[in-house]
A = this chain, B = another copy of it.
Amino acid sequence: MSKYFLHGSLNAKEGKGEELAGILLEASALVSKAKGCQLYLISISPEEPDTVWVTEVWDSEEDHKASLKNEEVRSLISKAMPILGGQPQQGQTLVNLGGHGV
């Protein structure tokens, strides 16, 4: 069955990439318990240390949206907001057809 796939970048203020990655790793521990969360990976680019990439697979878009209403998740989002930079986000919203690992 096809799943909801997100791959996108978040940009931290200069020098704050590591801190942002840490907050997102905390978020991954939280959403791992959320309904429908199959994958939530945090990655960085060695060339752009203040850009953090999040790759998510959810059973449905609705499950993803519902997770953003979770109070602990919202608290982490608030923690990340002040260190986010103004760079535009990149990435894709896709339909995952399957594969190995989820």
- Using a CB–CB distance below 8 Å, which chain A residues touch chain B? 5, 7, 21, 24-25, 28-29, 31-32, 37-46, 53, 55, 57, 92-102
Q: Which residues of B contact A57 (CB under 8 A)?
A: 41, 101
Q: Which residues of B contact A38 (CB under 8 A)?
A: 101
Of B39, B43, B99, which is within 8 A of A95 by CB? B43
Structural contact, B41 and A5, CB atoms closer than 8 A: yes
Q: Which residues of B contact A98 (CB under 8 A)?
A: 25, 28, 41-42
Question: Smallest distance from the beta carbon of A15 to chain B beta carbons, Å?
Answer: 17
Structural contact, B44 and A100, CB atoms closer than 8 A: no
Question: Smallest distance from the beta carbon of A61 to chain B beta carbons, Å?
Answer: 12
Structural contact, A101 and B101, CB atoms closer than 8 A: yes
Question: Smallest distance from the beta carbon of A49 to chain B beta carbons, Å?
Answer: 10
Structural contact, A25 and B94, CB atoms closer than 8 A: no
Q: Which residues of B contact A101 (CB under 8 A)?
A: 32, 38-41, 57, 101-102
